[in-house]
């Protein structure tokens, strides 16, 4: 049977590399077309890559935790059927990889089994398979499902994770001794579901994972669960279930996430500053080591590039938003907004969009010229509004494409949908590219104001601070009014002080008086 080599495809938006998060199949397993094979993390999202053809996985060219360049060999499958013809081997070069939006596979090369894994053009599914027969009938390779966005069905993901973790992962086997107390431990089917860093922490603390009831997603065991077990003295050594080797020095405990308002533990967001699950504890130094990969690495690079490339300037404005808050309550009661959250951020976003329409130069980007050429400022015709969101894997800035074309109900739905997708880690790579101006809500953290950093390639970012009852001079008299703090950071190469002040003042004027917003919209 021929060996078919599958290369890492371009997952969209010009990404050049991806990190292997975990393999969903082992060498020797039989796979089918469109079966998820591996989970990879790009600079923008976690993506599952499906199999382009059926067969037996014979080689994985990169292990979990390692980076792989786009176009590099990812895996080799021993596919059933006849050896492909010369015509099947012909095709575009290996570097020509489709983007995830097209829904097509990356480069798949074919070689005879005796030759090992070779290179060449795209291959097709074996003629003996259903996918191969469909390919021969239509003259096209089978359409692959699953490229680009992560599945939006959490139940399906949870089942796959349980299957994978019960079959593949694992801590080193430890000699065990029977103990009467073991009979009282919670019954488990198979191996406890926990990430490798959590398993390592459990080994360091001497905690037996089989004695813990997980509070994470789908009952998985979290770092907080292990630390709580260690604090309660339920270490495995106490019931005689671990080897005689002494445990490593105890790691410092990390506070678990507080209960959600509904009384259930929050599983999608962590306490700010808590040690992440992918950290490892160094018993020798007592320090945690946090790998800088994926979104964390991308955000660090982007922020450093932004700060050291674009000259930042920030202006501040306090606004009496009492009338806007009252208008928000009336808007919420309208039938068009049934089932949609009308938040202060929505009203600020709408005001910013209107201000951008009045001052289009702020919706621009600075482009350095090539050698010997002058730089230029490019003004974007559409307003792609970025929303800074603290997601489960770090800060992300997805955007609402052409937000300027949406009415207020449409903007409310788009904002709600995008925020929920970000917090559930269901963003597509396309959601994180192409923004033209950004808004961030730091007031939800109880912060009055700040100096936000520009999203690279954009000329401005607006921060909404806390909204509080404040003593305020209203119509010549001192009164308690609802006051919001705004901060606008802009690229001083593109935006001068006059333009930045005009945009910020316009946003403030519309929030202070909804009639102004109506007149300008």
- Give residue-wise pLDDT tens across range 254-308: 444 444 444 443 444 456 677 877 788 888 998 999 888 777 787 788 888 888 8
Q: Distance between CA 340 and CA 414 in Å, rounded?
A: 10
Contacting residues for 72 by C-beta, under 8 A, at least 6 apart:
7, 8, 61, 62
Q: Any idea what the Cα angle at residue 271 is, between residues 269 and 275, rounded to 5°?
A: 105
Burial of 264 (0-12, 13-18, 19+ CB in 10 A): exposed
Q: Distance between CA 347 and CA 517 in Å, rounded?
A: 10
Helix, strand, coil percentages in the chain from 3-state DSSP, rounded to 5 = 30, 20, 45
Compute CA 353 distance to the chain's CA centroid, rounded to the nearest angstrom. 25
Q: Distance between CA 328 and CA 272 in Å, rounded?
A: 30
Given a cut of 70, the residues of the chain with pLDDT beneath it are 1, 11-15, 43-45, 81-192, 195-197, 200, 210-211, 213, 216-219, 228, 230-272
Average pLDDT score, the chain: 74
Count of Cβ atoms closer than 10 Å to residue 383 Cβ: 23
Q: What confidence tens digit (pLDDT) does each residue in 56-87 have?
A: 999 999 888 788 888 899 989 988 764 443 33
pTM over 0.85: no
Q: β-pairing, 477-491 with 312-320?
A: antiparallel
- Residue 43 has what pLDDT? 61
**Which DSSP letter does residue 335 get?**
G
437, two tokens? 């101006």
- Residue 65 has what pLDDT? 79
List of domains in the chain = 3-138 (2.40.50.100), 170-289 (no CATH), 296-520 (3.30.559.10)
Give the N- to C-terminal CA distance of the chain in Å, as an integer. 66
Which residues are 69's β-sheet partners?
Answer: 17
Cα–Cα distances (Å) from 439 to 272, 313, 464, in that order, read 20, 16, 8
Identify whether the C-beta of residue 67 lies closer than 8 Å to the C-beta of residue 18. Answer: yes
Q: Does 312 participate in catalysis according to the annotation?
A: no
Burial of 352 (0-12, 13-18, 19+ CB in 10 A): buried
**CA R_g for the chain:** 27
Contacting residues for 406 by C-beta, under 8 A, at least 6 apart:
400, 414
Q: Distance between CA 256 and CA 273 in Å, rounded?
A: 11
Q: Distance between CA 282 and CA 285 in Å, rounded?
A: 6
């Amino acid at each position: 049977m021929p060996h078919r080599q599958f290369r890492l495809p371009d997952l969209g938006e010009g990404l050049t590399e991806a990190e292997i998060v975990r393999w969903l199949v082992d060498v020797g397993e039989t796979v089918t077309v469109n079966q998820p094979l591996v989970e990879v993390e790009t600079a923008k999202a976690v993506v599952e890559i499906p199999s382009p053809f059926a067969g037996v996985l014979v080689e994985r060219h990169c292990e979990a935790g390692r980076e792989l360049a786009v176009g590099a060999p990812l895996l080799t499958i021993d596919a059933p059927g006849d050896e492909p013809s010369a015509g099947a081997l012909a095709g575009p070069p290996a570097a020509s990889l489709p983007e995830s939006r097209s829904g097509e596979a990356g480069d798949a090369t074919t070689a005879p089994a005796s030759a090992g894994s070779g290179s060449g053009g795209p291959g097709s599914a074996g003629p003996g398979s259903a996918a191969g027969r469909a390919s021969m009938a239509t003259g096209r390779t089978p359409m692959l499902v699953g490229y680009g966005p992560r599945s939006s069905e959490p139940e399906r993901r949870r089942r796959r994770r349980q299957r994978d973790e019960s079959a593949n992962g694992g801590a080193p086997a430890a000699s065990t001794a029977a103990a009467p107390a073991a009979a009282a431990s919670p019954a488990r089917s198979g191996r406890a579901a926990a990430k490798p860093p959590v398993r390592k922490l459990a080994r360091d603390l001497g905690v037996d994972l089989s004695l813990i009831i997980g509070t994470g997603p789908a009952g998985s065991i979290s770092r907080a669960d292990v630390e709580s077990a260690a604090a309660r003295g339920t270490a495995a050594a106490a019931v005689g279930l671990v080897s005689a080797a002494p445990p490593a020095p105890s790691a410092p405990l990390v506070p678990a996430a507080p209960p959600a308002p509904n009384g259930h533990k929050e599983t999608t967001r962590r306490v700010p500053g808590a040690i992440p699950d992918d950290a490892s504890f160094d018993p020798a130094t007592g320090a945690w080591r946090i790998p800088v990969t994926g979104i964390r690495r991308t955000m660090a690079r982007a922020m450093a590039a932004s700060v050291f490339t674009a000259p930042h300037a920030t202006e501040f404005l306090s606004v009496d938003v009492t009338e806007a808050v009252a208008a928000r309550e009336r808007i919420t009661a309208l039938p068009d907004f049934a089932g949609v959250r009308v938040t202060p951020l929505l009203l600020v976003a709408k005001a910013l969009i209107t201000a951008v329409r009045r001052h289009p130069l702020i919706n621009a980007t600075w482009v350095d010229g090539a050698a010997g050429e002058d730089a230029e400022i490019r003004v974007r015709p559409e307003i792609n509004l970025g929303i800074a969101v603290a997601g489960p894997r770090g800060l992300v800035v997805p955007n609402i494409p052409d937000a300027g074309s949406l009415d207020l109900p449409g903007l409310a739905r788009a904002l709600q949908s995008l925020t929920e997708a970000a917090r559930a880690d269901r963003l597509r790579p396309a959601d994180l590219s192409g923004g033209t101006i950004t808004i961030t809500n730091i007031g939800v953290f109880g912060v009055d104001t700040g100096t936000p950093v520009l999203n690279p390639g954009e000329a401005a970012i607006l921060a909404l601070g806390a909204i509080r009852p404040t003593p305020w001079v209203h119509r010549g008299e001192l009164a308690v009014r609802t006051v919001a703090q705004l901060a606008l950071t802009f690229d001083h190469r593109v935006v001068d002080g006059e333009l930045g002040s005009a945009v910020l003042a316009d946003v403030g004027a519309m929030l202070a008086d909804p009639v102004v917003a109506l007149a300008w919209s």
